[in-house]
Each structure stands twice: as C-alpha cells, then as structure tokens.
Amino acid sequence: MHAMAGQYVRHGHEPVLVVPGERDSVSHVDGIRLITVSAPRAPFSGGYRVVVRPGKVRRLLEALEPDRLEVSDRTTLTGIGDWARSEGVPSLAMLHERVDGVLRSWVPGHGPDGRIAALGAAAAPQFADRYNLATLPKFDRLVATTEFAAGEVERLRRRSRNAVLPPLVRVPLGVDLEMFRPDRYDDDFREQYAPPGTTLIVTASRISQEKRVDLAVDAAAQVMRDGRPVRLVVAGAGPLLPKVRDRAAAAGLPHKFLSFVPDRVRLATLLSCADVVIAPGPIETFGLAALEALASGTPVVCSATSALPEIVGPAGASAAPEPAPLAVAVHDVLDRDPETRRAAARARAELFPWTATGEAMLALHARPTFEDVGPRAGTRTDTAADGVVMTGPRS
C-alpha cells in the first residue's frame, strides 16, 4: 500500500492510508498521511488485526471525503463498499488472497481415514463462492495481481452466470529495484550465515499456517541428506516460529531463524547473498518477498499450486508443495551456472517496476466507473483521483 501510495504522490495525487494498529494515531511517512485505527490482533494470524468497529472507519471516510477508495481487507471492511456507493465514491477491492485457499490452509492435515480433510477441502470452493457473491458486488471494480488471484472470481462467474459481479482487472504489484539489487552481495556478510562451500538457502515469510514454512525446512533438510552442505536462514516472525524452528533442529538441519527483520537494507543484503530462496506458500496470490529475491539476483523455488510460477517464470523453478519435489527443484536451480541464474533473476524482476503498477492503477481510476453498465445515481463522474483512500488489514 505504501509503495502504491508513493506512485500516486509522484503523479500529483494525495493518497491517505488507513490501517489497523495498536492505537489510534496520525503520522506522515515519506510525505504520505498514515491514519492508524486501533484494532486487536487476530489470534494465530501472524500479524493481522481485526477492525471490530467498522463504523469508526466509515466516519473517518466521511471526514476525509475521498474521490476514490481502494479496499484491501476482504473481511471486516467489505461493508465500506456499501458506504462508497451510497456516497457516490468509486471503489475497488484488491484481491490479495483467495478465500478458498485460506480456508484450505486451515483444514486439518488428516482426520479419521482422511475424511475430515477431504470434506473440508471440497467444501472450501463452495463456501468461498457464497462469501464472494455476498461481498464482492459491494465494490465497483475488482483488482487481482495475478491470474491465480483472479481464479476464484472467474470460477464464480462460470458457476453463477446470473450473478452481477464487478469488472475484474489484473494489475501486478511491483518491487523496489533500487533497494533490492544484486550488487548488495557481500562475502563478509554472507559468512555470518553460511561458511564457504555451504549453500545458503533463505526463506523470507510470515511464519503462520498458510505460509507453510515447514515445507522449506523439510525441503532444505532433504537437500542436505542428498549430499549438499546447506544452511537455512529464515527471516520472518509468526505464531508457528517455535514449532518450525524445532522442526529444523529435529532434522539436524543447520539453521538460523532471524524473526522479523525491520532493517530493509539488511534483508536486501541477505537476499542477495543467498544461493536460492524457497517460497513454499501453496496459496500465495503474488509473493512480494519472492520478487524481492529475484530483484536481488537470487533464483526462487516455489510451489506450483500458487501464483508464484507466474512471477518467477524461468528465473527459478516450481514444484508440488511437498518436501521431495521442492528439494529436486532446489537442486535444479543450484546446478545452473551461478552468473547466468543471477542475471536471469534480476532480468525477471525488472519486468515488475512499481512505476508500471502505479500507471496501471491510475489509468484504471481515470476510467469511467460504470462503463459496462452505465452510470448510477449519485456516482461521481470526475476522472481526477485527487484523493485516494487506501484501507488494509495489517498493521
């Protein structure tokens, strides 16, 4: 959200970010107004907060009087779409996750004879369709960052042909190509994490249920058992950190868990020093950390069931979200010429500059809101997005 807001500022607009946090506050970061609304953390979510008083957000929006509204929270703030429509403010929902994927991630790994897991997985698309049918029409447009992210909306269109759903547009996110770059590589820095002759595998992720960092641990352990000396470094915090760290220790895998890394330069240097980054999340709808790794010149191994193959392309490898296939993919990447794989990674990342994302979003905001169905009563028809309010679910 902050990177997108920066693009809006560059083009002369005035974005306002509204996010949940520990307490109410107003601040300015890089010239962007940031309004924080107090909200409690959701248990076991790895950092997400729940807006328990959406009416407070509506009153805030009434005071801000935005020209456009972007909503990145598909749970507690879906009602904001109704507010925007009543006020004639064009709105869009950013599809940063798939409801069916989130539901599947919380299905138990096994039940009696496997039946619980099977029933839960089968029910996820049906529940997701009902939920999306009830919430997505509240907005005027939908924005998906990848084809994978758009998949459940396209499925809903096929299954519910009479449903009136907003137009769906695909706009990829971007990466800070100046912060994350190959020339941050540093031998001394690297030796803090892996001795010479050891493969440095990095995972940068929130350590929560849906991210499946355990797959990265198990895949790295398999690579070690296959005969490669490895060291796994995990950057990220979350409710499952102790459990995943214990898993690495039990496997005899040399490892270091850094928890959350607030220093972006340190993180960028770590990514540039890695030989390969494993992005194991099986339901990722984009994968910013993986794109940052590519920008740093480091190839990425990812789960084939996610959106990441769309992002990584030939600058890495994808495999089924299971330890053995992911380990094979790691070997595949490491067997490539180091200079060639680093150049390919950076070239791939350069296809995703934030400038392209900003231009695409501004072009979308400038289009008539209801070009497909005609104007509605009370809808603003101006095309200048002087004030864009962006709301999101995380602190």
Same domain, 131 and 257: no
Structure tokens at 241: 């950190």
Looking at per-residue confidence, does 60 or 101 come out higher? 60
Q: How many CA atoms lie within 13 A of 48 on its CB side?
A: 19
44 in the Ramachandran plot: left (φ > 0), alpha (ψ -120 to 50) or beta? left
Same domain, 146 and 209: no
| Residue-level pLDDT at 367 | 87
Task: With CA atoms as reference, report the closest residue to 271 among 184, 343, 176, 346.
Answer: 184
275 has which bridge partners?
none
Residue environment code for 311-336, b if the CB has 16+ CB neighbours within 10 A, otherwise e:
bbbebbbbbebebebbbbbbbebbee
- For residues 322-332, give the mean pLDDT: 98
Same domain, 165 and 307: no
Please name the residue ranges forming H helices in the chain: 2-10, 54-64, 80-87, 99-105, 115-135, 147-159, 187-191, 213-225, 241-250, 264-273, 288-295, 308-312, 323-334, 338-349, 354-366
Same domain, 186 and 126: no
Q: Do residues 297 and 185 lie in contact, with contact meaning Cβ atoms separated by under 8 Å?
A: yes
Q: Provide the number of structural domains found in the chain.
A: 2
Task: Please give the Cα distance from 265 to 327 (Å, whole number).
Answer: 29
Same domain, 217 and 281: yes
Structural domain span for residue 223 = 182-349
Same domain, 159 and 192: no
| Residue-level pLDDT at 123 | 80
Please give the model's pTM, rounded to 2 decimal places.
Answer: 0.89
| Residue-level pLDDT at 386 | 47
Same domain, 104 and 233: no
- For residues 15-25, give the mean pLDDT: 94
Same domain, 298 and 368: no
Same domain, 22 and 121: yes
Instruction: Output the domain CATH number for residue 53.
Output: 3.40.50.2000
Looking at per-residue confidence, does 18 or 394 come out higher? 18
Task: With CA atoms as reference, report the closest residue to 204 among 261, 147, 255, 154.
Answer: 261
Which residues have C-beta within 8 Å of that of residue 348, sequence separation ≥ 6?
Answer: 294, 311, 312, 313, 314, 315
Task: Convert the pLDDT of each residue in 131-188 to its tens digit.
Answer: 999 999 999 999 999 999 999 999 999 888 777 899 999 999 999 999 999 999 999 9
| Residue-level pLDDT at 391 | 64
Task: Please give the Cα distance from 394 to 42 (Å, whole number).
Answer: 10
Task: Convert the pLDDT of each residue in 91-125 to its tens digit.
Answer: 999 999 898 888 887 665 433 344 444 445 568 88
Same domain, 115 and 154: yes
Same domain, 166 and 213: no
Query: Residues for the chain: how many in total?
Result: 395
Average pLDDT, the chain: 89
340 has which bridge partners?
none
Same domain, 125 and 269: no
| Residue-level pLDDT at 159 | 86
Task: Convert the pLDDT of each residue in 204-248 to its tens digit.
Answer: 999 998 999 999 999 999 999 999 999 999 999 999 999 999 999
| Residue-level pLDDT at 18 | 95
| Residue-level pLDDT at 124 | 84
Give me the percent of the chain exceeding a pLDDT of 90: 77
Task: Please give the Cα distance from 170 to 37 (Å, whole number).
Answer: 29
